[in-house]
Amino acid sequence: MPQDEQRRPRNPLAEIAAYYRDLGVAELHLDRATAPVLSAKKAAAPALAERSRAVEVVTAPDRPERLSVGGPALPTLAELAHEVAGCQTCRLCSTRNRTVFSDGDPNARLMFIGEAPGADEDASGIPFVGRAGQLLTKMIEQGMGLRRADVYIANVLKCRPPENRPPMPDEVASCRRFLEAQIALVQPEVIVGLGKFSCQFLLDSDEGMTAMRGRWGLYGKIAVMPTYHPSYLLRQPERKKDCWEDLLNVLVKLGLPAPAAQRKA
């Protein structure tokens, strides 16, 4: 970061206003924060360790239909992350620096699923921390009025494909059980699929992004909103408005108010 930029005090309100301007929102009305509402489930939800035990005795029909995690009991998220860290099932283990398991709240009502780690994620072990990740954080925090720490973020692949090439079908197949188990353990109410690979995975579809985007689907019994990947939005910023519409629909589905920003009639 240039030095003068470091010295300049940050103005969060100006940043939020700029973000909405970018989306075509002409007027902002500020009122109460929405973030505490999303975390309401937290208070009601048992601690993660308790939940994990509870999930172990859940019978198959209560789980998403396509779930197959290779046995009657699910591992805990910690066990799963440990397994991922040592995974050598596909070729990506030979080029990765770190596996990238998840970020956020394991009790989240809302889950975001991307494609695969990029260079920054491969270096840090945390999903969505590079440029696309910064945009995703803005979408969550400034766009939806939530805290990134209150949602759960994961990817279809847990290892970076070299040069960020698209995932290969056998890599998706090898990694499938990890994401399936993550979803079964977190049990979000809504999943936002980010980009083609994530949406095709979640909806068991071979449709393109234009056909899928903005149309509610189901992963088992969980509502899925397919939307554009933040990397695509960095290249095509004029599509941000569509994504904004999708995220507003997600807030409605969760019974959460949109942050007090309204389009001028």
**Which residue in 52, 63, 96, 121 binds ligand URA (CB under 6 A)?**
121
Question: Does residue 115 touch ligand URA according to CB under 6 A?
Answer: yes
How many Å separate Cα 30 from the centre of its chain? Answer: 26
| Residue pair 38/256 in contact by the 8 Å Cβ criterion | yes
| Buried/exposed 214-233: b ≥16 CB within 10 Å, e otherwise | eeebebbebbbbbbbbbbbb
Question: Does residue 127 touch ligand URA according to CB under 6 A?
Answer: yes
Shortest distance (Å) from residue 154 CB to ligand URA:
8
Question: Does residue 116 touch ligand URA according to CB under 6 A?
Answer: yes
Question: Does residue 155 touch ligand URA according to CB under 6 A?
Answer: yes
Question: Does residue 117 touch ligand URA according to CB under 6 A?
Answer: yes
Please give the residues from 42 up to 81 whose contact with ligand URA meets the rule CB under 6 A.
Answer: none
- Residues near 16 by beta carbon (within 8 Å), at least 6 away in sequence: 28, 142
Q: Which ranges of 119-195 does DSSP label H, i.e. alpha helix? A: 119-124, 131-138, 169-186
**Which residue in 84, 132, 135, 186 binds ligand URA (CB under 6 A)?**
132
Question: Does residue 128 touch ligand URA according to CB under 6 A?
Answer: yes
Q: How far apart are CA 257 and CA 251, in angstroms?
A: 7
Rounded to 5°, angle at Cα 93 from 232 and 171 = 55
Q: How far apart are CA 239 and CA 207, in angstroms?
A: 19
Specify the stretch interacting with ligand URA by CB under 6 A; choose among 6-14, 75-83, 114-122, 254-262: 114-122
**Which residue in 75, 104, 106, 133 binds ligand URA (CB under 6 A)?**
133
Question: Does residue 167 touch ligand URA according to CB under 6 A?
Answer: no
Q: How many residues bind ligand URA (CB under 6 A)?
A: 13
Tell me which residue of 158, 40, 54 sits closest to 107, measured CA to CA: 40
Question: Does residue 118 touch ligand URA according to CB under 6 A?
Answer: yes
Residues that bind ligand URA (CB under 6 A): 114-118, 121, 127-128, 130, 132-133, 155, 231
